[in-house]
Amino acid sequence: MDRYSRIVALLKVILPLAALALLSIIFLISRGSDQEAAIPFAQTEIEERMRGQQITAPFFAGSTEAGDEILVSAQNIRRDAATNEGTSEGLYAVMRLSKGGKISLRSDLGSLEIAKQIAHFSGDVLIQTYDGTRVETEQLDAHLDEIFAVSPTPITATGIIGTLSAGAMQIHTKSQGKSVHILFNKGVKLVYDPKQPER
Domains of the chain by residue range: 1-29, 53-192
Question: For residue 154, what pLDDT is reported?
Answer: 94
User: Which three-class secondary structure state does DSSP give residue 95?
Assistant: strand
CA dist., res. 70 & res. 173, Å (int) = 14
Residue range 53-192 forms a domain whose CATH class is mainly beta
Question: For residue 141, what pLDDT is reported?
Answer: 94
In this predicted structure, the answer to whether residue 124 has a pLDDT above a threshold of 80 is yes
CA dist., res. 161 & res. 198, Å (int) = 6
Least confident of 15-24, 25-34, 41-50, 103-112: 41-50
Give pTM, 2 decimals. 0.65
Least confident of 75-84, 87-96, 117-126, 155-164: 75-84
Question: For residue 42, what pLDDT is reported?
Answer: 64
